Chain A
């Protein structure tokens, strides 16, 4: 690449070795922050499920390097930062100061994801910021962990507007820590998780300072800039190969949890002069329940789809990747809601952005997209107030991945915008006495079929051990199935049910209820859709699936016309 050459060698006279070494050092520092945040955290949602992310930012708040953990959390790092910096200028920050923000209408996503940024001082000067975000188990709100019926954002929990505080003065036993502790249900775990964020920020700061000490402040700043240019350059190189034009895609959320009306998301993706524009004009209006998707979440989901399809996984994701992309969504729509819309379940609309963009891209690069998968965040909260205080269990599930032009979709894995691990059964046994997990397994036949089949969904079953247990869920793909591409068939939809004695109660995808001792709650997640025509599938693959119990004999016969 000719541009590459000129920027590296002439603009700053940085040699290619220093450049490569320092940029790898920055990425490694971000990765270390993420790893240590998770390992020193307290709640199962952070320490087991790893619902947290970390990044290094430059002085202006551009993300330079990130720990590749949760795609959805990484997109808005710069936006949440800038909302703080506008109110509290970077120049005025002191040692120990930090920015904090979870406001969905000021760059944040949902309240549970709290973003914290600590300035990195080198020789009295701020060179950049270490930032972390963690999903907090409970931040107050109407119900422990999750309030399905919240009418507005305030019913969903504690809101930190973009602000500046000081770690030594306001946290560590100070007034902010006391204020937060008093307004949440499981402070021991939540405050522990906040502390893990502060510690991770300190580690990031320390590593950047060490790099500055070795290579000099100016060099590090120059590399930060170049690293963004580098990602931009690689992304533009990929873009330049695509045919110009406008392509359309749409998908929908099942319903808003009250009516049965699908919530439609429409994307028009334009490639022109080496840039991409995505416009969500035509998407439905914002809704009264928590499915609204804050604008930064819309951006984050769209970027993830574009990055996954059009760039190789080794391009560092940073502000540079965003430069050739413009995204817009009408104000007041599902994808850019007005205050005070509730937004807790914004992931579902985020996934439909991802799907709509994926369908548009399928027309341009059919061999690089995947079919519809479970593509849903299924959040279950099972909580109880007993003698030992509140116990809140929160877990996030994926399902089957969509198939591609080359491979079957991955079975039973978190969906593309997220990347949470499951909580080990032995960890839930240790931490919770109000329920017990009694089954966790693959769902044979739940995938869609085709030349390549989708990934299987899975089930998870809970026995409720106490009366007065509160259950809340948000999920999707209970009615509209994951879509097949190029002749592949759709995946099976998800469902959730409660067995109470002889009675079976069907739970809706956005629901909440009280559970009784002896209830058996079972969640079935959706399977991914197939890609390509079923008659092109390798018969050996069909036999293998039947032999191992991924596919029943009947289904093999029905979907592939193959008797095994």
Chain B
């Protein structure tokens, strides 16, 4: 049996897939002790823990430690003269007219930041040797006295030559063997010291958190007779065996949305869809991601609470538009939705818990695109009158009916989501019309059709049990690890050899590492060269397959780079200007031998019949159906509402719906 347990902010979801089918469990999270929630889910699911072969876990523990600055005492060590790197940051502001602007607080304070005497140059040449005596005499005692659990080391230019960082770790470890030491050159090999230092500091900061959490979790599992493989989800869309994860804590940050993307990718992939735009709409926000050829796009530029982290993560764009997003009119008379949310408490007005502001969920009730009986499978009391009441002022302001006002709010939320998708598609040179949309999360299937239409997307694939996609994604994910290497070189006649040599070197190391983790079958390698025109500072990723690398020559490299640059920046194709390699990245993936199958919950039935709903400024007559009543043979025309235990799917006029043989629902534009 395979089990995925995903701890979210509000709920902990469990998906178990075994011989006798799919079991789905949802329990409240225990925010202070995420593992408690996870075990509650295991208990509630009544599973035999000793029968679990594959247990995959995703947790907010690392993310929360950073957001709440509740990690363990961590020190930071850098080159002499640069102790304040973490506090100084990049000297700019992200809100230019805000007079009370504050920088995001670093995870390591000034008081815990130290210097060592050394200097390596950008060529890799050592300009000043590391003063080892001073390290032993001054730094080590201070690290000892500070009772630190972890230390991050970021020395200037270590991305070219990490020898001083490595020596420093050796010296510290000799004296203080229990201290976690994180080297910047090992977490990211990219230049720009602040971003690398920030990555290293956050990595060190969450290291003891993850280490203890996994240790505690493993102990409890053992007590319950667990004998299977325990793995943990990462933000790059792959998981790692728990033991390896204890050395790689930073990749656990923000893994929840990544698990959802992987689940959606796998489930849609079963029906043969490889180019996807995923749409995860929850209570407070929407996460969107572009998946090309079955692979989610990656980025190395992401932030947590304003602090940069430079590791490859799934390129998920988040926008403050969810069911709880507040609908309001600003003082200039413009209709707005979000980013403020009514959250889970008080929640939308219709929850009857004192929410006084109109939200998107209230709007759906007014439009009748969601039925009060559909909340938590009918286990929740919903106050439709409260929803209508809070929308009155919006309707009056624009001289509209309540339905029109609610519809306007939803169209606007959809438009915000469309923009979020354009940011990661159109702006990165990808045309959304080449993709299908895969909605999930509680409200994804409610909004998908309109969002897809605005982007010119013709097909929507809605997975079964769309409300627990992240938990499914855990067990559907491969094992993945990334490595990067900075090797700056102008592209000349030897460029092909350089690529081949670098690839061979990185490949050997990766294979060795995976061998060590017991993952040596079914390996896939993704090789990326980060390139730019000589003199530029930001690189364009150029993907190279193993086949391409064999016969790669200078002209081909130039052609591939020119094409990639043109797509993003509207120039560069055919240019004869000098170009250079900056770094190389290798992603190693151990693919799952067989994929767990997510299916419908067949026993869930609603009272099917005729309904009326309001959409796109007018009233429509439509049908209400149980989702599981659709079959591949039966194509139905919108407007339809299709309900399952975890979400409502809205099929507007102009769309046809049918089920396929993989339990996915497929919507297609009929006009």
Interface residues of A (CB under 8 A from B): 1, 3-5, 7-9, 15-17, 19-21, 23-25, 28, 32, 36, 39-42, 44, 47-48, 50, 68-71, 188-189, 192, 195, 199, 202-203, 206, 230-231, 233-234, 237-238, 304, 307-309, 311, 313-315, 317, 368-370, 397-398, 401-402, 404, 406-407, 410-414, 416, 419-422, 424-427, 429-430, 438-442, 458, 461, 547-550
Contact = CB atoms under 8 A, between A and B. Distances in A.
Contacts of B83: 441
B112 to A, nearest CB: 9
Given A16-B412, A424-B192, A441-B88, 6 more contacts: A17-B335, A36-B569, A189-B535, A192-B533, A422-B88, A442-B84
Given A370-B100, A406-B100, A20 B95 contact: no
B11 interface: no
5 contacts: A233-B332, A317-B97, A401-B101, A441-B88, A550-B110
A421 B96 CA distance: 12
A419 B111 contact: no
A439 B110 contact: no
Contacts of B122: 426, 429-430
B189 to A, nearest CB: 12
B538 A68 contact: no
A513 B257 CA distance: 56
A39 B87 CA distance: 24
Contacts of B82: 425, 439-441
A307 B398 contact: no
A21 B415 CA distance: 6
B412 A20 contact: yes
B434 interface: no
B92 A413 contact: yes
A417 to B, nearest CB: 9
Interface string B95-137: 1111111110000011100000000011000000000000000
Contact of B81 (A23, A39, A317, A461): A461
A24 B335 contact: no
A23 B415 CA distance: 11
Contact of B194 (A370, A424, A439, A442): A424
B609 interface: no
A429 B159 CA distance: 13
B536 A24 contact: no
Given A50-B92, A308-B99, A427-B191, A188 B81 contact: no
Interface in B522-541: 533, 535-538
Contacts of A441: 81-84, 88
Interface in B296-334: 329-334
A36 B411 CA distance: 29
B483 interface: no
Contacts of B604: none
Contacts of B91: 397-398, 412-414, 420-422
A388 to B, nearest CB: 13
B88 to A, nearest CB: 5
A557 B98 CA distance: 32
A7 B333 CA distance: 9
Given A426-B156, A427-B191, A429-B156, A4 B333 contact: yes
Contacts of A426: 122, 156-157, 159, 191-193
Contact of B97 (A1, A24, A308): A308
Contacts of B569: 36, 39-40, 199, 203
A4 B329 CA distance: 10
B517 interface: no
Contacts of A416: 99
Contact of B101 (A188, A410, A548): A410
Given A313-B95, A413-B93, A413-B101, A39 B397 contact: no
A370 B99 contact: yes
A458 B88 contact: yes
A101 to B, nearest CB: 23
Given A407-B102, A550-B110, A234 B571 contact: no
Contacts of B95: 68, 313
B408 interface: yes
A304 B97 contact: yes
A16 B101 contact: no
B192 to A, nearest CB: 4
B191 A547 contact: no
B570 interface: yes
Contact of B333 (A233, A314, A420): A233
Contacts of A48: 537
Contact of A47 (B85, B93, B411, B537): B537
Given A410-B101, A442-B87, A188 B336 contact: no
Among B91, B102, B121, find the residue whose CB has the most chain A CB atoms closer than 10 A: B91
Contacts of A550: 110
Given A20-B415, A442-B88, A234 B331 contact: yes
B538 A47 contact: yes
Interface in B415-436: 415-416, 418-419, 422-423, 427
Among A3, A24, A410, A424, find the residue whose CB has the most chain B CB atoms closer than 10 A: A424
B568 interface: yes
A157 to B, nearest CB: 21
Contacts of A9: 398-399
B32 interface: no
A483 to B, nearest CB: 15
Contacts of B419: 24-25, 28
A21 B335 CA distance: 10
A50 B111 CA distance: 31
A234 B82 CA distance: 44
Contacts of B379: none
Given A17-B412, A407-B100, A429-B156, A440 B335 contact: no
Contacts of B336: 20
Contact of A427 (B87, B192, B415): B192
A8 to B, nearest CB: 6
Given A422-B90, A441-B81, A404 B100 contact: yes
Contact of A440 (B81, B101, B568): B81
B593 to A, nearest CB: 41
A422 B96 CA distance: 16
B640 to A, nearest CB: 23
Contacts of A192: 533, 535-536
A32 B88 CA distance: 27
A206 B567 CA distance: 13
Nearest to A17: B411
Among B121, B191, B537, B538, find the residue whose CB has the most chain A CB atoms closer than 10 A: B537
B110 A17 contact: no
A19 B100 contact: no
A413 B103 contact: yes
B332 A440 contact: no
A368 B97 CA distance: 12
A458 B336 CA distance: 41
Interface string B329-347: 1111111100000000000
Nearest to A406: B100
A4 B336 CA distance: 14
A549 B97 contact: no
Contacts of B537: 39, 41, 44, 47-48, 427
Contacts of A231: 332
Contacts of B411: 17, 21
A420 B194 CA distance: 15
Given A20-B334, A237-B331, A202 B570 contact: yes
Interface string B385-421: 0000000000001110000000010011001101100
A430 B535 CA distance: 11
Contacts of A42: 533, 535-536
A47 B533 CA distance: 13
Contacts of B415: 17, 20-21, 24
A436 to B, nearest CB: 8
A304 B93 CA distance: 15
Contacts of B193: 424-426
